[in-house]
Amino acid sequence: MKRHILITGGAGFIGSHVVRHFVRKYAGYEVVNLDLLTYAGNLENLHDVQQAPNYHFVRGDICDMCLVRTLFREHNIDGVIHLAAESHVDRSIRDPFLFVRTNVLGTLTLLQAAREAWGDSSEVERRFHHVSTDEVYGALQFGEEAFSETTSYNPHSPYSASKAGADHFVRAYHTTYGLPVVITHCSNNYGPYQFPEKLIPLCIRNICANKLLPIYGKGENVRDWLHVKDHAEAIDVVFHHGRNGESYNIGGSNERRNIDVVKLLIRIVDEELGRAPGSSEHLINHIEDRAGHDLRYAINAGKLHSELGWTPKHDFEKGLSDTVRWYLGHKEWLAAVVNGSYERYYAEMYDGQ
């Protein structure tokens, strides 16, 4: 069946992998990528698919109702995979209003446009897939059970609060107007094309440049890491086969302390650069903790596995080594995304600590 899918935020980290996955795997689908190209979006992330006949890029804002309505009409959109967001917790602490605008109002704009375009007809297959995060569940203590889909919402940062607000609107549009929705909650992603403000690419870049590695607090916080391509596959499965109105957790069953991830990165980068093993460990710099820093995330993805058969394919250590090699081989990409505004952000966040 030919589908016409609107992917939002497709020029960002995860979105670019989702766009590439859909454009290549489903040649018969039309994929429309709506992205504002904020500091986090870069068309270089999609250089290898931009000429594909089933792919269209539109630069624009998900909060622009007029534009979004037009896209639904002109492209006969029957599926949405919504990834566009402000995604960085540290930036949300500095500018919470921007996060509410993009993440809550932007999501509401897309929901309303979908509702208007799709009416209440159920004759045609339609789907609004909202890409949420595990952070809406809050934080776990050590020894507590992993998040499941029935874990209560308890967001702590302005970022996670804005994502939680968006999730509530998605459910409300399903319950109130019958919009066919699914929500996914994924854990921390790693892989190529991640903007170097997030822990893993930031550390790879700094180790290479012999710059300090800013580790919040003792580095004992735990994240559950998943390769971005496993996330893209999971989105494909849920978009096509998830049950209407349901949510699905996506995770790697791969909990690691930050300090252990950083030491592993040091080992890999030192080896790749021919440095003596561990010679970059002196770069580790414990700095003031992130405000409201969530201690631990862990995902129970049992529902996605048992209902839809998804399991992650990438081994973490191999995936991380490949990721390091990717960054080392893409210095031009790094130089292109790291512009003056990022350098200013970095200096304000970390220099002097």
Which of 3, 130, 174, 223 binds ligand DAU (CB under 6 A)? It is 223
Q: In Å, how far are 33, 138, 297, 320, 327 from 315, measured between CA atoms? A: 30, 26, 19, 8, 18
The residue (of 73 and 293) whose beta carbon lies closer to ligand DAU is 293
- Quick check: 167 binds ligand DAU (CB under 6 A)? no
Cα–Cα nearest to 285, from 212, 221, 337:
212
User: Using alpha carbons only, what angle is made at residue 274 by residues 269 and 277, rounded to the nearest 5 degrees?
Assistant: 65
210 contacts 202 by C-beta, under 8 angstroms: no
327 contacts 273 by C-beta, under 8 angstroms: no
Q: What is the pairing mode between strands 255-257 and 55-59?
A: unpaired
- Quick check: 345 binds ligand DAU (CB under 6 A)? no
The residue (of 3 and 227) whose beta carbon lies closer to ligand NAD is 227
Q: How far apart are CA 188 and CA 227, in angstroms?
A: 8
Which of 33, 42, 87, 103 binds ligand DAU (CB under 6 A)? It is 87
Among ligand NAD, ligand DAU, none, residue 291 binds (CB under 5-8 Å by kind)? none
Among ligand DAU, ligand NAD, none, residue 84 binds (CB under 5-8 Å by kind)? ligand NAD
Q: How far apart are CA 179 and CA 183, in angstroms?
A: 12
Which of 17, 127, 198, 314 binds ligand DAU (CB under 6 A)? It is 198
- Quick check: 242 binds ligand NAD (CB under 6 A)? no
- Quick check: 238 binds ligand NAD (CB under 6 A)? no
Number of residues interacting with ligand DAU: please give it, by CB under 6 A.
19
Rg of the Cα atoms in the chain:
20
DSSP code string of 27-68:
TTSEEEEEE---TT--GGGGTTTTT-TTEEEEE--TT-HHHH
Among ligand DAU, ligand NAD, none, residue 199 binds (CB under 5-8 Å by kind)? ligand DAU
Angle between helices 13-25 and 228-241 (to 10 degrees): 60
- Quick check: 15 binds ligand NAD (CB under 6 A)? yes
The residue (of 87 and 157) whose beta carbon lies closer to ligand NAD is 87
Q: Which residue is nearest to ligand NAD (CB)?
A: 12
Q: How far is the CB of 280 from ligand NAD (least distance, A)?
A: 24
Q: How far is the CB of 27 from ligand DAU (least distance, A)?
A: 30
Per DSSP, which regions of the chain are E strands? Answer: 4-8, 30-35, 55-59, 79-82, 127-133, 181-186, 189-190, 213-216, 222-224, 226-227, 247-250, 255-257, 284-287
Among ligand DAU, ligand NAD, none, residue 63 binds (CB under 5-8 Å by kind)? ligand NAD
The 269-308 contact track toward ligand DAU, x by CB under 6 A, reads: ---------------------x------x-----------
Active-site residue list: 134-135, 159
Q: Applying CB under 6 A, which residues contact ligand DAU?
A: 87-89, 133-135, 187-188, 198-199, 202, 214-216, 221, 223, 258, 290, 297
